[in-house]
Structure 1
């Protein structure tokens, strides 16, 4: 119903988007009176902090290994210029020609998995691009093409990054098992770092399994759950995790940064790893 306050449009013009001619012509930018901008601003600040920290650590190429701990940013270490990791997953696939930080060889997979994640897409679309900035708040862009054009069409690679993220999580699990050794590689020991790595790997697996692609792989193509009781139970469990996907996304993001920072502290000599037993 017209109210008499609608913005006047010249005949034949159509601004598109939320001002499309078929939509209600409301003059106000939005009708929300709460502090709707707090959440996208906090999201942008949190993501930016992680980007700055991870970029620094990825290019630092130092203080990422102190027996028995190896930073999750650098594992598996695939270059010849990696710090020595006895009994560790150091395959040296890339020879001496690789002169950059070895973290740049592996971070593309977990970061690609998170960058294309459905939740993270919503988070940084709102936080950085204001697309849209919040529910019931119009975005400032004149046109909208969704994820149908380059580079956003690459978001469809998410399912393939999931396949790459699973073995990476498996290797980080192996790294966590190795933390039950002391600096002389004797088993039956545990330090504070062991606890840090345990919490981190649990959160990484929980986030990985809560992925929408994982939920689809487990039970998305089934027509009759009654004929697949095991997969149905797995689908229910993954669905329960999926309902907490946002929480797990943030918790695992913080935990992986803390695990790396912990290794940095002990490798740089700023902190001695306390032994629990």
Structure 2
């Protein structure tokens, strides 16, 4: 019977309160593969997005604008005909205009519950995998700096919504050609359409979205509309991990596609 005076368990599997098992774990599968692949994927995106954000070039090829640079709100933006190009910041901003925009979707993704799990395991080995002891001597959770900043996730959701709205506008403009004529459809049109569908699906599958639409309701029967929205958000939330990766890949491919068009690597294949 516990008396409350017992020493606190130490980390790992070598604690006296646990079975005396010599190995660090008893797993025989390649448990390290999943966190290694996750870390490699996230690292690849960080390197690519950082390069594209600072290069400040080749982000517009009519009628497509890179999602990394939209909406373009600085004076040094490349003129985009019909696109969300507004001089709100002024000419004092001399760096890449992407840095003014990417901070919002990156803050949303960086504090996302799934991405926390991904990079906690992939980069910090906290924990490396299920039933594998983590190498850290103590764990304070997200109650201290800097991890306490993760609590801003519920607020970053509100900033992610207008960014998704601007990208929706860009996807609509992708159905116009360089002469403002509607009815254009090229490979880039499909790329941007798929991208915005995945971005909205990922955004609305967020745990914060599910909580906002129905998390505080005491009686679902009194709020049928919010209950229906809560149910839809819950169904999307079941695929949150898949949507997180799919949207991350799609937004990178959309930017890469614009880059290839802007640099003249190839022309946009048109269907009509």
TM-score range, shorter chain: over 0.9
Aligned pair count?
266
TM-score (normalizing by structure 2): 0.94
State yes or no: 1:88 paired with 2:120. Answer: no
State yes or no: 1:239 paired with 2:234. Answer: yes
Aligned to 1:144: 139
Q: How many Å separate the matches in 1 of 2:152 and 2:142?
A: 12
Aligned to 1:71: 66
Aligned to 1:59: 54
- Map 1:33-44 to 2 at 5 A: 33-44=28-39
Post-superposition shift, 1:17?
A: 2.2
Aligned to 1:201: 196
Aligned to 2:224: 229
TM-score (normalizing by structure 1): 0.93
Unaligned runs of 5+ in 2: 1-5
Q: How many Å separate the matches in 2 of 1:112 and 1:21?
A: 41
State yes or no: 1:155 paired with 2:144. Answer: no
Q: How many Å separate the matches in 2 of 1:24 and 1:220?
A: 41
Aligned to 1:9: none
State yes or no: 1:106 paired with 2:101. Answer: yes
Aligned to 2:122: 127
1:224-262: CA deviation from partner (whole Å, max 9, x where unpaired): 111111111111111010000000000000000000000
Q: How many Å separate the matches in 2 of 1:273 and 1:30?
A: 52
After TM superposition, the structure 1 stretch with the greater mean CA deviation from structure 2, 197-206 or 266-275, is 266-275
**What SS does structure 1 have at the residue aligned with 2:68?**
coil
Distance 1:15 1:225, change over 3 A: closer
Retained in 2: the 8 A contact 1:72–1:260?
Answer: yes
Retained in 2: the 8 A contact 1:180–1:187?
Answer: yes
Q: How many Å separate the matches in 2 of 1:20 and 1:93?
A: 59
Distance 1:32 1:177, change over 3 A: same
- Map 1:10-21 to 2 at 5 A: 16-18=10-12, 19=14
Retained in 2: the 8 A contact 1:14–1:21?
Answer: no
Give the RMSD, CA atoms, in angstroms: 1.5
Retained in 1: the 8 A contact 2:214–2:230?
Answer: yes
After TM superposition, the structure 1 stretch with the greater mean CA deviation from structure 2, 72-81 or 18-27, is 18-27
Distance 1:140 1:218, change over 3 A: same
1:61-109: CA deviation from partner (whole Å, max 9, x where unpaired): 0000011100000001011000001222111111111111100000000
1:190-245: CA deviation from partner (whole Å, max 9, x where unpaired): 11101000000000000000000000001100111111111111111110100000
Q: How many Å separate the matches in 2 of 1:99 and 1:255?
A: 29
Post-superposition shift, 1:184?
A: 1.4
Q: How many Å separate the matches in 1 of 2:193 and 2:236?
A: 19
- Map 1:156-171 to 2 at 5 A: 156-171=151-166
Q: How many Å separate the matches in 2 of 1:58 and 1:145?
A: 34
Aligned to 1:29: 24
Q: How many Å separate the matches in 2 of 1:226 and 1:263?
A: 48
